[in-house]
A = this chain, B = another copy of it.
Amino acid sequence: MKKKITLKQIARELDVSISTVSKALRDSIEISEDTRQKVQAFAKLYNYRPNNIALSLKNRKTKTIGVIIPEIVHHFFSKVIRGIELVANKRGYNVIIGLSNESFDKEVINMQMLANGSIDGFILSIAKETLQQQDYHHFKETINQGMPIVMFDRIVNDIHCDKVIIDDVKGSKNAVSKLLSNGCKNVAIITTKDYVSVGKLRTQGYLEALEDFKITPDTDLILKVDDELVSEDHLESLEKEIEGLFHNNKNIDGVFAVNELYAIIAMKVARNLGMKIPDEIQFIGFTDGVLSKHATPSLTTVNQHGQEMGEKAAGLLIDNLERESEEEQYTTIVIETELVERNSTK
């Protein structure tokens, strides 16, 4: 087992100074052709690679991006990560991952662990609990210490930083409009409690679409799911709620859900109740994941372009990190959503 070799060892072996070795390896003009070749040959032989940590310390840059997301077993977030990793790697950066698990405390701890020199900047999407408590001091402090942050998807407006979002309102409005122009008269929405920003915005889009079509919203058709109760394994309560929705409103002929899973479950409930999809009732979900594509019938969804969000976010962050000027000006990139039409709509 040969341990990693250092400049010092090369210097000792070749009986020159450390400076000479360093310069020779970096093709400095100061070094004679002779010694340069000698050093380079030796380095190659022993497979020398500069120690990254030492470089980071010296340059006060780690060339590493910290990503904090609420959950990784999730199609959307993993797509974002893929996007981040793609451009980060292309531009010579590594990606280090922290999972908040939707918890405020874990989010804070994770940020502290990484903010002490391990990374150059953050890309993150806020945990539900944080949004609920509305405590954003850790973001502010991080930014104050000079570490840039890019937020994506779940953002909060009064933090001053780069952001990558989709136009949730527009995306939902489009989707619901689609249902309405397809002839639906009574479109229900399955959404989350208001504290999750995106749920709120998507509900707004729903309402705007109704307004466009001169329909007065019916609060009975707005189902706000308490997603505390809906874990991966606890879907029964969700099914019950949706069953209730259908039961109390026999005339529902369209459903818009603010995420993929809700839509899939709703379709399942409807099917069990004997409703024909898409003839009697049509469905559209938000977020285009694997489920939508392979469900029966396949689900029409609003594609969020997760990978592109990741790419843009990483681009913004690295641009910021490598920018010379000190002037702080923050950008918000809005990614266009796309309605992917499948068989759950006419």
Contact = CB atoms under 8 A, between A and B. Distances in A.
A112 interface: yes
Contact of A94 (B50, B114, B294, B295): B114
B290 A268 contact: no
Contact of A296 (B95, B112, B296): B296
A179 B62 CA distance: 54
B99 A97 contact: no
Interface residues of A, number: 54
Interface in A79-132: 79, 81-82, 85, 89, 94-99, 110, 112-118
Given A118-B52, A291-B294, A294-B291, A94 B96 contact: yes
Interface stretch (A24-32, A34-42, A67-75, A204-212): A67-75
A340 to B, nearest CB: 12
Q: How many copies does the complex hold?
A: 2
Contacts of A1: 144-146
Contacts of A117: 4, 51-54
- Which interface residue of A52, A62, A81, A82 has the most chain B CB atoms within 10 A? A52
B73 A82 contact: yes
Contact of A118 (B53, B75, B290, B294): B53
Contact of A294 (B97, B110, B145, B295): B295
A146 B5 CA distance: 12
Given A82-B72, A294-B291, A112 B54 contact: no
A81 B85 contact: no
A345 interface: no
Contacts of A234: none
Given A4-B145, A290-B291, A82 B99 contact: yes
Contacts of A144: 1-2
Contact of A95 (B75, B97, B146, B261): B97
B145 A64 contact: no
A49 interface: yes
8 contacts: A2-B144, A49-B112, A52-B117, A53-B62, A73-B82, A85-B99, A95-B96, A264-B294
Interface of A: 1-4, 47, 49-54, 56-57, 62, 64, 72-75, 78-79, 81-82, 85, 89, 94-99, 110, 112-118, 141, 144-146, 261, 264-265, 268, 271, 289-291, 294-296
